[in-house]
Structure 1
Amino acid sequence: MPEQHQTEPRRGPSFGRRHLLRGAMLAGGLAAAGVGGIGIASAQSFSHPGMLVQTDDFARMRSAVQGNREPWISGWNRLIANSHSHPTWQPRAVERIIRGNNGTDPENYWLLMNDMHAAYQNGLRWKISGDTAHRDCAVRILNAWSGTLKEISGWTETSLAAGIYGYQAANAAELVRNEPGFDRARFQALLANVFYPLNNDFLVRRHGTCDGHYWANWDLCNMAAILAIGIFNDDKAKVDEAIEYFWNGKGQGSIEHVIPFIHGDLAQWQESGRDQAHTMMGVGLMAEFMEMAWNQGIDLYSARDHAFAKAAEYVARYNNGRSVPFTKFVWYNGHNCAYNEQTVISEGARGQIRPVWELVYSHYYGRLGRAMPNVWEMLAKVRPEGGGGDYGTASGGFDSLGLGTLAYVQERKPTTLNRLQSYNHQDRYVRHAYYDARLDASISPAADAQFRLVPGLADKTGVSFEASNVPGHYLRHYDYDFRLDPNYGSSRFAADATFHAVSGLADGSWTSFRSHSHPDRYLRHYDYLLKLDPISTATGRADATFRITS
């Protein structure tokens, strides 16, 4: 009787405590009770450097740049061509930063905005090249601001300035936190006394408006600032505050609100009906928030069954020019909670280029091997990602620290491409043709007959077969037949795409592959199609025996 598979479930917006507990266990911390039984994951100690980039990341970047390897070298060339990364950059620190028209003071937030990107870019160049002139430039910029800035003011946009430039300042400072001449204590005081009170006030008071009044970006940048400040200042309470708001926050940036609707393997973003520029800004801010948490041992990427991966695919797909489903979005705004609705997705700024995609792809595909085809298509348009100063002079070009092609790209291992040669039809190899798996004659190593043999998705002692020409797609069995499917992260998929290499059933010098989910069955060919069968005959043993060739 054929194997009976149930359709893999499409999970809705609810999420369980298991996501929280995973974060708590990774952090080695606590799970404290929160609203509705959902709690917070608390880090007990801090890893430094441990925000957007860590020590291992610098080693990877340095090795790739020294080896002149793509795509990192293109990212490096983009960095060194940016004037903000030059060690001659001079800070322009002032006592009072204004963002938003308050009717009396001219805006000058661009001074802080540009200087924080210059500090970050110089710090990054120093970490990779070892040139201390860049380190000293970053220290000079950061010391100037910690010794001068007393206030961030303006209209309600003060909250944007405190959020965006707060998390960026902490990331820049993290790169030089222990370096000679850097006044770390004074910079910690700047973050705690000038930035943090504004971040906290926004998330608590929201300028006296309805909980849903402000778009997700306003929450996300302030969440990111509190998290980054907590990490840089070794302040566990602030880290807890940011993570708790991610799970339980009343505004549009919490995980329940920022992704209001799940559409199968896609998920609608809260600002999708507003415009695409702010939607992509939100994707970038959420990715940076999640990455900072990840580097402290807290997994938020997996929240709500990897809802953020689905949302990134949704946003990328629409901005690649394709259609996506849209459910009417309702919210209440202002001081009197007026009713508002959006019934169609916005075409405003559709297709805009923003440096927010490498980090998303790095985690879901680079670390997890998850298929992200729409994000991958977007990357072809934005690579190599630049940083502040590469996308114009307006504030939108500085919303993300960027430079992801250099900083975030994960090296998929093993990188060797392999073919599976049949034992009893040695002129034939396993291939995928129109996503069906079969055994065909192969004169040359065609792309669809090449696979990366990666650690098993369900069991790292096993193996999974990733297609070389379709990233994130794997051979898996379904009703005992084989096909090439995208990995969207389900446990069923992982089990069906995992196999254990054993001595060849027909010849011990070759290899056979036992199913992880059905250990009494093996991968074999039958009438040149791949099947998952129990093996009991000599013919079956020959059909289930292969050689791995490179």
Structure 2
Amino acid sequence: MLRMTGAATVIGIGTVIGGAVPADAATVLSSPASVGGGLAHPGMLHTQADFERMRAGVKAGKAPYKAGYAVLAANSHAQSTWKPNPLARVVRGGEGTNVGTLYHDVHAAYQNALRWKVTGDSAHADTARDILNAWSAELTVLDGDADRFIAAGLHGYQFANAAEIMRGYPGFDLARFQKMLVDVFYTQSSDFLAHHNGAYVTNYWGSWDLLSIGCVLATGILCDDQDKVDEAVTYFKSGKGNGSVKNLITHIQPGGLGQWVEVGRDQGHATLGVGLAGAIAEMAWNQGIDLYGYDDNRLLKGFEYVAKWNLGHDVPYTSWTWKYGAPGIWGGSQTLTAPSTDSRGQLRPIWESIYNHYVNRRGLDAPYVTAYAEKVRPEGGGGNYGEGGGFDQLGFGTLAFTRPKAIVSVGTPAPSQDTTAASGSPKATAQPATAGSNDTRAQGGRGDDLAATGAGGVAAVAATGVLAIAGGIIALRRRSARDSD
């Protein structure tokens, strides 16, 4: 990542020139947390710097923020008149299914919280707070058939994101919400990753694991529980199920495309997985953990594969066998031999965060992700894409994730910076990112920032969008506070 000592701001990568700092010249972000300061807050899908960027873009009427906010403001869930409908028992799957009541309120809480952060209108904050408080006072049971794990994962991580935005707001009972999140949502998601509902570990598709990972990670962040964060990250990297990244992306095909496990199943679930993986990676990134780049950008290869197929292009496919069942009860296998055309081309609000990370934040090529983001832009959210699956992702990425494109510096590379910590951590070499880079080692701190050393070390961004630094040396360094792989 990029670090500027002292000021802890993030700006786009560029060449040294001079000039002032216009708001729209390059990505300018505050570091989500100070070096060595525990978990970052707000630090899930959005940081405080993200909110400031959204607010500035909307206030200036700048594209595409203006269009992104207009979609949010028009959504019925984003109105300050929304009233919560809390339940003591939520059911997904089987008799008495009522999960819709939950997810409509979850999305209303998130959308009102986001509107508050963008506009400063406390009426939206009050509405979001009241929804969160109402549910934490009432909900005690999440029930149903195996689909209860879907509800726990999806709506657990979504609810946690709304609560993270509202952290510290007057009247919000964070402690009670944290308890509900752990007792009702996290426990089911964690248990699923450990036991897979008593089935073979391969029985459930990758998206089941991903939604559970998302809930565990978000719970850890909201509750300041590093063990839960580590639980999620460890499973993502090395878990046995189909949502662990090397099982999720089963084959690296010629040309660097990564075959996504559920592309052979159908595109609704494949794109669901893309959205979940993107959310997990963004939440981890904002805690200083680079899952986007893990294993030589394996996720990017998978995202490109799914996007390319769903945009109507051919992709290579290696036959893959799905093994299903439960020990001592039933079992079998199915060999998939080609990408499925079921739901091909489905539109979900999932691509902006992925596009903006790889292309704009990192300066990498992602042509098919880019094309898909353009196709869906401006992204909506829950309530804009129909019932059921239309609430699988929080959305509004055009508003929330749009960032100016980083400008990769040219000429002589910056010298290596000695970042050896007292514990004997390895040095991080200052080098620009490349398409195949998997530089995930780092020490201390979180978020995007610039490492500027030398006399002065004062950075600015010129009106042309390139970096300026007074008497200093810009060094590119990527950090993952606890990522040693």
TM-score, shorter chain, exceeding 0.5: yes
Which amino acid in the other structure matches residue 308 of structure 1? L
1:123-162 matched pairs, under 5 angstroms = 123-162=113-152
Aligned to 1:92: 85
Larger Rg: 1 or 2?
Answer: 1
Per-residue Cα deviation, 1:295-326 (whole angstroms, up to 9, x for no partner): 00011111111011111111111111110001
Hey, what's the Cα distance between the residues in 2 that align with 1:392 and 1:57? 28
**Aligned match for 1:306, one of 282, 297, 302:** 297
Residue equivalent to 2:392: 399
Identify the match of residue 282 of structure 1 among 273, 291, 295: 273
1:221 alignment counterpart: 211
Q: Give, in whole Å, the separation in 2 of the partners of 1:390 and 1:457.
A: 46
**Superposed counterparts of 1:430-449, under 5 Å:** none
Query: Alignment partner for residue 489 of structure 1, among 401, 418, 436?
Result: 436
Shift of 1:456: 3.8
Superposed structure 1 runs of 4+ greater than 6 Å apart:
26-29
Specify which of 41, 45, 49 is matched with residue 48 of structure 1. 41
Counterparts of 2:322 and 2:64, CA distance in 1: 42
Q: Aligned partner of 2:343: which letter?
A: A
Alignment correspondent of 1:421: none
* 1:350-396 Cα distance to aligned partner (Å, 9 max, x none): 01110010011011001111111111111221000001000012x21
Distance 1:316 1:28 in 2: 36
Which residue in 2 is equivalent to 1:366?
360
**Match for residue 265 of structure 1?**
256
The question of whether the paired residues in 1 share the 8 Å contact of 2:293 and 2:437 is answered with no
CA distance in 1, matches of 2:182, 2:401: 28
Cα-to-partner distance string for 1:147-171 (whole Å, 9 max, x where unaligned): 0001000000000000000000000
Partner residue in 2 for 1:325: 316
Contact 1:44 1:236 in 2 (8 A): no
Alignment of 1:210 onto 2:184: no
Instruction: From 215, 229, 251, give the equivalent of 1:239.
Output: 229
In the TM superposition, what whole-angstrom CA distance separates every residue of 1:487-521 from its partner, at most 9, and x where no partner exists? 63359xxxxxxxxxxxxxxxxxxxxxxxxxxxxxx
| 8 Å Cα contact 1:371/1:487 also seen in 2 | no
Structure 1 residues 226 and 456, CA, compared in 2 at 3 Å: closer, same or farther? farther
Superposition deviation, residue 413 in structure 1: 4.8
- Indicate if the aligned counterparts of 1:27 and 1:298 stay in contact, CA closer than 8 A: no
Matching residue of 2:8: none
Contact 1:269 1:311 in 2 (8 A): yes
How far 1:44 moved relative to its partner? 6.9
Offset of residue 250 of structure 1: 1.0
8 Å contact 2:33–2:40 — kept in the other structure?
no
Residue 88 of structure 2 contacts residue 140 of structure 2 at CA under 8 Å; is this kept in 1?
yes
Secondary structure of 2:138's aligned partner:
coil
Partner SS state of residue 116, structure 1? helix
Match of 2:286 in 1: 295
Q: Does 1:80 align with 2:70?
A: no
Aligned position for 1:459: 413
Q: Given the alignment of the two structures, is residue 177 of structure 1 paired with residue 167 of structure 2, yes or no?
A: yes
| Equivalent residues of 1:27, 1:297 under 8 A apart | no
Correspondences of 1:355-434 after superposition (within 5 Å): 355-393=349-387, 395-413=388-406
Given that 1:293 and 1:300 are in contact with CA atoms closer than 8 Å, whether structure 2 keeps it comes out as yes
Residue identity matched to 2:409: P
Give 1:255's aligned residue: 245
Gaps of 5+ in 2: 1-31, 416-432, 439-485
String of CA shifts for 1:18-72, please: whole Å, max 9, x gaps. xxxxxxxx9999xxxxxxxxxxxxx971110000000000111111111111111
Give the distance between the partners of 2:93 and 2:108, measured in 1 at CA: 23
Higher relative contact order (CA 8 A, sep 6+): 2
Corresponding pairs, count: 388
1:340 paired to 2:294:
no
Judged with a 3 Å threshold, the aligned counterparts in structure 2 of structure 1 residues 285 and 456 are, in CA distance, closer, same or farther, namely farther
| Counterpart residue number, 2:54 | 61
Change in CA separation of 1:201 and 1:457 when aligned onto 2, cut-off 3 Å: farther
Q: State whether residues 297 and 437 of structure 2, in contact with CA within 8 Å, keep that contact through their aligned partners in structure 1.
A: no
CA distance in 1, matches of 2:267, 2:118: 34
CA RMSD of superposed structures (Å):
2.2
Which whole-Å CA distance do the structure 2 matches of 1:93 and 1:215 have between them? 31
State, as a whole percentage, how many aligned pairs show the same letter. 47
Cα distance 1:333–1:131, how it changes in 2: closer, same or farther (>3 A)? same
Q: TM-score, normalised by structure 1?
A: 0.68
Give the Cα–Cα distance (whole angstroms) in 2 for the partners of residues 118 and 98 of structure 1. 19
1:240 deviates by: 0.9
The answer (yes or no) to whether the contact 2:308–2:315 under 8 Å persists in 1 is yes
- 1:111 corresponds to which of 92, 96, 101: 101
Higher strand share: 1
2:63 is aligned with 1:70 = yes
- SS state of the match for residue 260, structure 1? strand
In structure 1, stretches of 5+ residues that fail to align are 1-25, 30-42, 415-453, 462-485, 492-550
Q: What one-letter code is carried by the residue in structure 2 that aligns with 1:121?
A: Q
Alpha-carbon distance in 1 for matches of 2:311, 2:335? 25
For 2:333, give the aligned amino acid.
Y
Write the deviation string for residues 190-224 of structure 1: whole angstroms up to 9, x where unpaired. 01111111111111111111110001111000100
